[in-house]
Structure 1
Amino acid sequence: MIMIGGLPAHILLVHAVVVFGPLAGLGAVVYGLAARTRNYLAWPLGVLTLILAPLSLITAQAGEQLQATRGATAMIQAHARQGDIFKYTAVVFLVVVVLMLAATYAPLAERVPALAGLQESRPIRIALLTAGVLAGLFLIYQSIITGHSGSSSVWGG
């Protein structure tokens, strides 16, 4: 089992996921809806998303290891199911954010000329911005559902 400072890693890593998930989701929603914020949000959103996806996979693996050593009540199994949905959501969110940034963040086209055509297509930009907003909203929702099921399994609420 992955341990950090003598504690199961899942109980520590989950705090970062619970913060980064909704924050990244909110960033994607604002990025998609408020064009004037895009120059400010592109890098933080990209970096946060690049951290969130692997962190959610590591946290899920640590949770599975913790579950194997502690046993699985019905509440823990419910949390594990939500955690599985969350980790897939985080990976899909990463893909959507990368595509959204590739299609809308002008400095990327300056560095990668192949993206210029993508950025010139208004229907693609609108579709990817819409996908980014929807993915952000679902990530926020799934963060809340997964976090609630996890806290309920620990605190019995």
Structure 2
Amino acid sequence: MIEIAGLPAHILLIHGVVVLAPLAGLAAIIYGVWRAARRHLAWPLGVLSLGLVPLTLLTAQAGEQLEKARPASNLIHEHVEQGDLLKYLSVAFFVVVAMMLAVTYEPFARRLDLMGARGLMARLGSNRAVRTALLAAGAVAGAVLIYQSIITGHSGAASVWAGR
């Protein structure tokens, strides 16, 4: 089992997910609905969504190791399932945010030009329906990420504190 300072790593890493996932979700919602904030939120949103992927995967891995070291229960099983869903949602969230930023934020689109993807992004970004759909998808993905992080955190807390 992975440990940090004698404590199971999952217990410590989860605090990062509990803070960063709702923060990233809220940033995606604001980015999707408030045009004036996009210029200020693009880079923090991109960094948050990217950083959340390895943090969530590492936290899930540490949680699986902790699960093997503890007695099984229905509450732990439910938390594991919620955590697995959060793990996949964090990856999907990153993909949606990356597409949204590539189409709606010009400096990201310019960086894609270096990779030869600028033509596709320019065509997608010039289509108002695509831009609107990606902004809406980003906002919805943010709301889903917030919801799932709350549900996962609640099920984890219940698995530890129920009956105490």
Normalised TM-score (structure 1)? 0.96
Normalised TM-score (structure 2)? 0.92
Which residue of 130, 146, 158 corresponds with 1:152?
158
Aligned to 2:20: 20
Distance in 2, Cα, partners of 1:112 & 1:14: 33
Aligned to 1:94: 94
Aligned residues: 157
Aligned to 2:131: 125
Which amino acid counterpart does residue 55 of structure 2 have in structure 1? Answer: L
Does residue 134 (structure 1) correspond to residue 134 (structure 2)? The answer is: no
Does residue 8 (structure 1) correspond to residue 8 (structure 2)? The answer is: yes
Query: 1:98: how far off?
Result: 0.3
Does residue 143 (structure 1) correspond to residue 149 (structure 2)? The answer is: yes
After TM superposition, list the pairs within 5 Å mapping 1:49-60 onto structure 2: 49-60=49-60
Distance in 2, Cα, partners of 1:128 & 1:147: 28
Distance in 2, Cα, partners of 1:46 & 1:5: 31
Where does the alignment leave 5 or more consecutive residues of structure 2 unmatched?
A: none
After TM superposition, list the pairs within 5 Å mapping 1:28-107 onto structure 2: 28-107=28-107
Cα pair 1:106 1:119 within 8 Å, conserved: no
Choose 108-117 or 134-143, whichever is displaced more: 108-117
Distance in 1, Cα, partners of 2:111 & 2:86: 32
Which amino acid counterpart does residue 128 of structure 2 have in structure 1? Answer: R
Which amino acid counterpart does residue 52 of structure 1 have in structure 2? Answer: L
Overall identity of the aligned pairs, in %: 60
Aligned to 1:109: 109
Which runs of 4 or more aligned residues in structure 1 lie more than 6 Å from their structure 2 counterparts after TM superposition? none
Where does the alignment leave 5 or more consecutive residues of structure 1 unmatched?
A: none
Pairwise CA RMSD: 1.1
Which amino acid counterpart does residue 155 of structure 2 have in structure 1? Answer: S
Query: 1:110: how far off?
Result: 2.8
Residue 123 of structure 1 aligns to a residue whose secondary structure is helix
